Structure 1
């Protein structure tokens, strides 16, 4: 805002500003924000978060090369030494930090959810708000601070994300569990994620857990606990805001084990775990350590994000006693599940099924369970020598005993400890690696390669040498000779590649799954079926090319021909080397989660939209898809405009096409979207399709969807549209479209991209 020479503002304001200095006052960075003023505003800026400008390592940092310099055995020994070296400022329970480090790693990985692939340990988001300040993550800040000497010793060759998971593994090994393996390769984020939707509740971060489930769960649940329609809103996984899984005291902290079992099944299924994996993780995790509940939550200080500046990023200050050791309070439940909390054994299940349990309360007032038998085994105090305590179970533990299906798994593990050990090892490996994507991204000598794990979306190894330039030209000629129009070629390649989501690195064109169930059967992919069949006939004549490569190459042909029709000669980059997988290597149930409920690039809105995204505007889902595809606002805009004029609507309609030259890579969409002679009006009460009529005559010229009009209504997107709508925009548009197209086709090519976040590896 500009001021005149009398230092008064250009709008009415009581008083005048003092001369000189900064005039930020108390308003800088504080409310009211844009979100406060305009809560429905499309937050396009989310596409540009966590970019190279926030990264102190820069665009050229090669994490794979840096990680390779680490002696993993030396690193693991350093971690294990730290685990048994207690420090005064945060003493180790039982003289071993292992249990609390397992919790840290578990809670980092446990935010993962299968619906949109977000969460997980992959970027060490536990360091930032909101996750790092969730009540369920209480005192994980101490675990990470304890690891700081290790992080500083190995520097940038070891990401926080890899260190946290590896420390969990080392903790398990130190206490006797043979782990299934470890893959490095996680790249740290450098700023908070404020774009992931963690739930509809208006959660007050100043509040702490007080036994009332923090906030009402009802806003995220459908139906009542126990009903057939009982489920969580998609894409959520945790039972409510600020928890990793479920309330350990039961739904609404009501102490109901059967209700807890239903919550557990819903939430762990949403985190891509079946019943056996669920029991293995709970029983295995609770074989170690203890829960802390010595002080009521109302006495505990604020979370790290709200703590006073002098606490240097540590939160949850405890005013009782030393504030730690025997005075520690975390989730409010107090006690240990086993007699030897730092040793891997089967005593958790033996105790759970060997005793009858009654509800009691912790010193902090939380519901928990104690053996009815006064002669039941006791557990040692974590800090006071010679002192013992009654064993403890949570309501979520008793749930495994009362639920018939969980009970069967428990009895299986009780009868065969080796089976339980392997099940927990594999479930832990899945938990901590689920969001890493294909094994091309795994680093280090402990990558588990002996098994082909279905949840990793396995691809066969490439055989022979990738096709060369002469093969590419022959295949292009064969595609053109087949007579498939550019629109269908581009639509099919886009449909194959667009399943990719960067959140958990799943999907994409590699593997050729566009020809397999479930993707070939999705309504949005109907147009791809005859194209894929035609390309398979070409492949029979050229067996050296994979179908996956051929689909992408055919899309490149479509783009080149459409650009030529617009008067611009261009060669679309093509990188061969994709492989075709099989139906047996495809987990149909898990791939169903990749099926879009809406896809603005193809002007698609599923009949399931209201079920999975009630009350959500289509443009918000479109922004989310652009975000999962790692697109910038300009890339999002040019891809949308280009795909429209190429006629790639899922149903072949002309909604939003905004050109009479379909199949020509022109700027017509940009020009006609910003035509000031047009007035746009909704065609029905759903406000999903709009008519563009000439203001002077009332003649209807176009129809468009919300997916289109958002690029004219949102100020940030409209400014990008203007860059291509001008008279000098055509050639720039074609080249920018080709660059964005190549990026889209290469999103899943970790076999050639390496471990850099920004762009491909240097040659």
Structure 2
């Protein structure tokens, strides 16, 4: 039959544009943050092992090919001065530069610059071209090099190719195959909305909303034209300092990165910004994933518009030298407007020979500085550092090399995760180094000594949990290895119940001195023993897997300030809230579970188990729906799904479970408890564990999830 009426046989919007449940019910708990563990999005399959593929990589050939690509200009996107180094550095920088220390999210460790929203951020304009230029390299080496590694490598090799001695490079970043749904970039509804929207007061950068670090939606760091686009180097300096601190950089590293980033390359703003087409995610299908295309006038080479600022920072923008500080201190600088209408600073009465050539080498033009560059000499602290770098170029090069390495590797975690022949061998404090621990000991004998130590089951389980729960999969920091729970600042965190913790640590430290076994191993082994005893009390014999070999970190090699953001201000697993937050407890619970790399099922299982084990902070009874406290039963789920009870609000984050027949309050709960009965997805999981035939299944599932948490930072167990 021939369709002649022109109607489409597809129900429009049935799959792609129809409202989602979240849009219909915006206050419903959204579990998407825990849905990133689905491997079905990975085209390489579950058997693929990137570390195994890296062993096949010819690193020397790859390095040679990338360096050749840097000086092979393509007509469809010509290289500035015949060198793509500046573009590749910006791509690598903007990939790594999204990292923020508050939650460890962002960074270049998973190649997500390929996906929205990052691929279409205003600050990432024309970086789509950099990735397309790299495609022949990726095509040639295939799965032996990830996009995440290749993008950072291209930036690092660009510095080498332009004469800078880099600190090194480590492979090992594995690609994700979807955007990171769990990264909060801000609540603004428009790009580059005024930064006031994310500050308590824009005049006080410390009031920026946590965990954000960039000053405006769609920027990597700060607005190059000034605060909200208004030039004022001192105000900009304050924002720069706060932003870089939130990205784990001190003042010296900040100046080095600003100067080193602008020693090479240029900004582009020689044209009309309104002639640019949409960003990649908004461009038409025939643009094939490229954005910001100019179909009105010439939009490549010297006529490119990216940031809107126009010009190079140094006289020789394809050479690593001290030209940035030379020009910054040699000349006075005044405000000007670029051809695209952006604020920039230009030198007064500059000598012709100090001007850089335009990208086609046909004429000299003024160098430029952004408001952030001017902050490097207007802010007294930054100026002192800048003067030292100006007078000691070798020191500047060394500090920059280390800062660049930190910028591009901070989210990779400890050095044990590094792969390849280009990595440095030096331990750095920000890598959270942990010495190797003893592994060849009689685990059973040590276990018996723990059992005879006088520590209670609760002591064992809670201490192990508190030690391990700090792990963040976002930047591979925290966890039980190293036993930093016994060091500042962790030993005195409120969430760790310091008085109880110090008592338990005293026992473990004495055992460690007697046996030579690390406190880290003792803590985890003790927790495992507590879980085994709890399972036995529930009628299930189970052995919790234990892998010895953890080491004990030292205070000297612990950057206490950088560990402060790992402090638990909430932990639904122990029904803990440090204070009353405007964000509901169940939302906080999802965020922590996501950082711990837990699935929704694992979250459900662990919360239900921790409740009946009696591990609540301060020994509260909220959610302890059992008469057999300390036994690993499924009572939490049985009670939660029992229609015997009516749930009643009883104050902020507090509820009563009242018996319908007797009218008596038999249990109390928090939102982090009751959400497993109210949310349709979580309830579906809770019902599974509440079934009569799931009592043993629950114990085994809890043990599996517990073991995952205890070993989350044991990268040596998964490395090939």
Deviations 1:215-241 (A, max 9, x none): 12222112241x4x7421111110111
Q: CA deviation at 1:29?
A: 1.1
What's the counterpart of residue 71 of structure 2? 84
What's the counterpart of residue 675 of structure 1? 642
1:739 aligns with 2:704: yes
Matches within 5 A, 1:598-677: 598-607=570-579, 610=581, 615-677=582-644
What's the counterpart of residue 356 of structure 1? 332
Whole-Å Cα distance in 1 between the matches of residues 253 and 123 of structure 2? 22
What's the counterpart of residue 595 of structure 1? 567
CA contact (8 A) 2:190 2:217 kept: yes
Whole-Å Cα distance in 2 between the matches of residues 459 and 50 of structure 1? 28
- Equivalent position to 1:236, from 181, 201, 212: 212
Q: CA deviation at 1:97?
A: 0.2
Of the structure 1 ranges 654-663 and 148-157, higher mean CA displacement relative to structure 2 is found in: 654-663
Q: Which runs of 5+ in 1 are unaligned?
A: 1-17, 205-213, 755-760
Whole-Å Cα distance in 2 between the matches of residues 269 and 277 of structure 1? 10
Whole-Å Cα distance in 2 between the matches of residues 165 and 305 of structure 1? 23
What's the counterpart of residue 718 of structure 1? 683
Matches within 5 A, 1:396-407: 396-407=372-383
Return the TM-score normalized by structure 1.
0.91
What's the counterpart of residue 580 of structure 1? 552
Deviations 1:389-418 (A, max 9, x none): 011111111111110111111011011000
Whole-Å Cα distance in 2 between the matches of residues 431 and 301 of structure 1? 31
What's the counterpart of residue 297 of structure 1? 273
- Equivalent position to 1:498, from 469, 474, 479: 469
Q: CA deviation at 1:616?
A: 1.6
CA contact (8 A) 1:283 1:348 kept: yes
Q: CA deviation at 1:374?
A: 4.8
Q: CA deviation at 1:40?
A: 2.2
Whole-Å Cα distance in 2 between the matches of residues 741 and 50 of structure 1? 17
- Equivalent position to 1:421, from 383, 390, 397: 397
Matches within 5 A, 1:313-392: 313-375=289-351, 377-392=353-368
Q: CA deviation at 1:577?
A: 1.0
Whole-Å Cα distance in 2 between the matches of residues 523 and 537 of structure 1? 24
CA contact (8 A) 1:257 1:399 kept: yes
What's the counterpart of residue 701 of structure 1? 666
1:283 aligns with 2:259: yes
1:312 aligns with 2:288: yes
Whole-Å Cα distance in 1 between the matches of residues 624 and 221 of structure 2? 44
Matches within 5 A, 1:195-206: 195-203=182-190
CA contact (8 A) 2:33 2:591 kept: no
Q: CA deviation at 1:73?
A: 1.5
Q: CA deviation at 1:190?
A: 0.5
Of the structure 1 ranges 144-153 and 452-461, higher mean CA displacement relative to structure 2 is found in: 452-461
Deviations 1:724-753 (A, max 9, x none): 101112100000001111111111001121
Q: CA deviation at 1:22?
A: 5.6
1:106 aligns with 2:97: no
Whole-Å Cα distance in 1 between the matches of residues 336 and 312 of structure 2? 14
RMSD of aligned residue pairs (Cα, Å): 1.7
Q: CA deviation at 1:337?
A: 0.7
2:195 is paired with a residue of what secondary structure?
A: coil
1:401 is paired with a residue of what secondary structure?
A: helix
1:679 is paired with a residue of what secondary structure?
A: strand
Whole-Å Cα distance in 2 between the matches of residues 338 and 667 of structure 1? 67
Whole-Å Cα distance in 2 between the matches of residues 459 and 51 of structure 1? 31
- Equivalent position to 1:457, from 423, 426, 432: 432
Whole-Å Cα distance in 2 between the matches of residues 20 and 491 of structure 1? 64
2:172 is paired with a residue of what secondary structure?
A: coil
Whole-Å Cα distance in 1 between the matches of residues 155 and 15 of structure 2? 40
- Equivalent position to 2:484, from 495, 513, 526: 513
Q: CA deviation at 1:112?
A: 0.1
- Equivalent position to 2:507, from 520, 523, 534: 534
CA contact (8 A) 2:483 2:552 kept: yes
Whole-Å Cα distance in 1 between the matches of residues 157 and 407 of structure 2? 15
Of the structure 1 ranges 88-97 and 60-69, higher mean CA displacement relative to structure 2 is found in: 60-69
What's the counterpart of residue 219 of structure 1? 197
1:442 aligns with 2:399: no
Whole-Å Cα distance in 2 between the matches of residues 662 and 569 of structure 1? 18
Matches within 5 A, 1:114-125: 114-125=101-112
Q: CA deviation at 1:276?
A: 0.2
Deviations 1:126-151 (A, max 9, x none): 00000111000000000000000000
Whole-Å Cα distance in 1 between the matches of residues 273 and 501 of structure 2? 56
2:556 is paired with a residue of what secondary structure?
A: helix
Whole-Å Cα distance in 2 between the matches of residues 216 and 326 of structure 1? 30
What's the counterpart of residue 4 of structure 1? none
- Structure 1 residues 26 and 638 mapped into 2: Cα distance closer, same or farther (>3 Å)? closer
Return the TM-score normalized by structure 2.
0.97
Whole-Å Cα distance in 2 between the matches of residues 49 and 507 of structure 1? 21
- Equivalent position to 2:225, from 227, 249, 252: 249
Q: CA deviation at 1:256?
A: 1.1
Whole-Å Cα distance in 2 between the matches of residues 278 and 316 of structure 1? 30
Aligned residues: 714
Whole-Å Cα distance in 2 between the matches of residues 27 and 241 of structure 1? 31
CA contact (8 A) 1:136 1:244 kept: yes
What's the counterpart of residue 408 of structure 1? 384
Whole-Å Cα distance in 1 between the matches of residues 493 and 17 of structure 2? 46
Whole-Å Cα distance in 2 between the matches of residues 310 and 737 of structure 1? 50
1:368 is paired with a residue of what secondary structure?
A: strand
1:258 aligns with 2:196: no
CA contact (8 A) 1:491 1:528 kept: no
Q: CA deviation at 1:32?
A: 2.2
Q: CA deviation at 1:514?
A: 1.2
Q: CA deviation at 1:379?
A: 3.2
2:467 is paired with a residue of what secondary structure?
A: helix
What's the counterpart of residue 371 of structure 2? 395
CA contact (8 A) 1:320 1:327 kept: no
What's the counterpart of residue 7 of structure 1? none
Whole-Å Cα distance in 2 between the matches of residues 361 and 477 of structure 1? 75
What's the counterpart of residue 489 of structure 1? 460
CA contact (8 A) 1:377 1:391 kept: no
1:305 is paired with a residue of what secondary structure?
A: helix
Whole-Å Cα distance in 2 between the matches of residues 77 and 525 of structure 1? 51
CA contact (8 A) 1:335 1:389 kept: yes
Whole-Å Cα distance in 2 between the matches of residues 367 and 360 of structure 1? 6
1:67 aligns with 2:34: no
CA contact (8 A) 1:289 1:342 kept: yes
Matches within 5 A, 1:162-181: 162-181=149-168
What's the counterpart of residue 139 of structure 1? 126
1:749 aligns with 2:714: yes
CA contact (8 A) 1:291 1:333 kept: yes
- Structure 1 residues 20 and 477 mapped into 2: Cα distance closer, same or farther (>3 Å)? farther
1:201 is paired with a residue of what secondary structure?
A: coil
- Structure 1 residues 50 and 453 mapped into 2: Cα distance closer, same or farther (>3 Å)? same
Whole-Å Cα distance in 2 between the matches of residues 655 and 377 of structure 1? 74
